[in-house]
Structure 1
Amino acid sequence: MAVNTHPYYPERVVLSGNFIENTWTVPSLILTFVTGCTLLLFITLVVLRRVNPVLRPSDQWKVLWFIMTGCIHVFFEGYFVYNNSRMPGMQDFFGQLWKEYALSDSRYMTSDPLVLCMESLTVLTWGPLSLLTAVLIITDSRFRHPVQALVSTGQFYGNLIYYSTCLYEDFALGTRYYRPEPYYFWWYFIFMNTFWLVIPAICLADSIVASGSAFAVASKVNDENERKRK
């Protein structure tokens, strides 16, 4: 462990390595990331419309979501899990992107046990299952809604834990992991993570309704079969 000058809060937090200042500007980091995500979504849309041209628009956007979130979980968050002890000094694109985001949550620069375990679980489970869910939607698999509900519940619950632990330590214990500038708290920490609350909640509700409808149909068929036997 090393102590050196860095921009993270709390100011005396001990990072998991020597901090090296980013060379990429913030706009270039964000623009490159957004461009990459946009390209991924475009390619996904082209492929899914060729594989299943009759897929409903409501399911198309879910495929886009699960592909994007799956790739973020596996590759971006996987990068953090693999390099967690070296994060403060990483200078490649993902490393500098993580160092920028960590201005809103310095736990990513300290190999925090909760964050590391949570991210490891995300990389190993929700990432691959998100990609699987996209395939199940495209192929109209009967396993689509059970898996979609499982992944969405995991993402929603994980994000609640992520939010609650950080905010509890801030307001109850006085330990603040984000810089005092409102930009880092409201844009990075709150807004950017809200997607993993709102969209999983929508997908979970969709699966609950679909499952309820399926059970209602099955129950009706069973009742009719029982009447025929009598």
Structure 2
Amino acid sequence: MLIDPSLIDQVTINSLLAVVAILVVSLLASRLLLPSSSTRTDHATFVWFAFDALIHFIFEGSFVYHSTFGRTVNTGKDMFALLWQEYAKADERWGTADVTIVSIEIMTVFVDGLICLHVLRKLISNDPSRHFWIVVVSLIELVGGWMTFAPEWLSGSQYLNTHVWLWHYVYLWFFNGLWVVIPIALIGHSYRQIICGLTLANDSQQQKKSQ
């Protein structure tokens, strides 16, 4: 049987529904806050950064809270502790306040999250400088992902549980893969926009000099 019913409990369902709810809020926010002249790419970018910011502040913020006040996720009893206990089935480090993970998550919440909000403001005002900040935050998230998993790969993945399909392919590959594939796509798009703008500016300067 492809899906083992014993893997899907109420915590699993609530965790996945919470992710869906954040996505829905992000979609609605893009419809309400972006100007009508915004392109589909702008809407998609807004949805991603709204989703990204909420995940950082709500989910990862709760992880930082549980892991920096003399406790761990595994000792918590509230809904966020249970959510992270679910994810810790795939990566045990998240349940025990691993110092590398906590350090990365502190940066993720207080640096990435705030830059995401900055990008959203730039999108609402259609400020082209957003492309610089999109590249910055996307690079930070790629580095954060690398520093999360590279030490595990180099040490034999002793804390990763890959023998259960849900934990391996959904929790580890799918959810973490989003923060690899999407930032790379955003960097590529913003790079092209920056180069296009610089090329136009350079052409304009050349024309002025030739006049």
TM-score by length of 2: 0.88
Q: What does 1:27-176 correspond to in 2, within 5 Å?
A: 27-48=12-33, 51-84=34-67, 85-170=71-156, 175-176=158-159
Q: Secondary structure, in 3 states, of the residue corresponding to 2:155?
A: helix
Cα RMSD after superposing both structures? 1.7
Deviation at 1:116, TM superposition (A): 0.6
Q: CA 1:95 to 1:37, structure 2 compared with 1: closer, same or farther past 3 Å?
A: same
| Counterpart residue number, 2:202 | 219
CA contact 2:93–2:159 (8 Å) conserved in 1:
no
CA distance, structure 2, for counterparts of residue 31 and residue 71 of structure 1: 15
5+ residue gaps, structure 2: 1-8
Deviation at 1:71, TM superposition (A): 1.1
Matched, 1:207 2:195: no
Of the two structures, which has the highest relative contact order with CA contacts closer than 8 Å and spacing of 6 or more? 1
Same amino acid, percent of matched pairs: 23
Q: Secondary structure, in 3 states, of the residue corresponding to 1:170?
A: coil
Deviation at 1:27, TM superposition (A): 4.2
Which of 15, 19, 25 is matched with 2:10 structurally? 25
Deviation at 1:34, TM superposition (A): 3.4
TM-score by length of 1: 0.81
Deviation at 1:91, TM superposition (A): 2.1
CA contact 2:112–2:137 (8 Å) conserved in 1:
yes
Q: Give the letter for the 1:86 counterpart.
A: T
Q: CA 1:158 to 1:31, structure 2 compared with 1: closer, same or farther past 3 Å?
A: closer
The one-character-per-residue Cα deviations of 1:97-132 (angstroms, maximum 9, x if unpaired) are: 110001111111121111011000111100110121
Deviation at 1:163, TM superposition (A): 2.4
The one-character-per-residue Cα deviations of 1:7-33 (angstroms, maximum 9, x if unpaired) are: xxxxxxxxxxxxxxxxx7244323431
Q: Give the letter for the 1:29 counterpart.
A: N
CA distance, structure 2, for counterparts of residue 223 and residue 157 of structure 1: 38
CA distance, structure 1, for counterparts of residue 83 and residue 181 of structure 2: 24
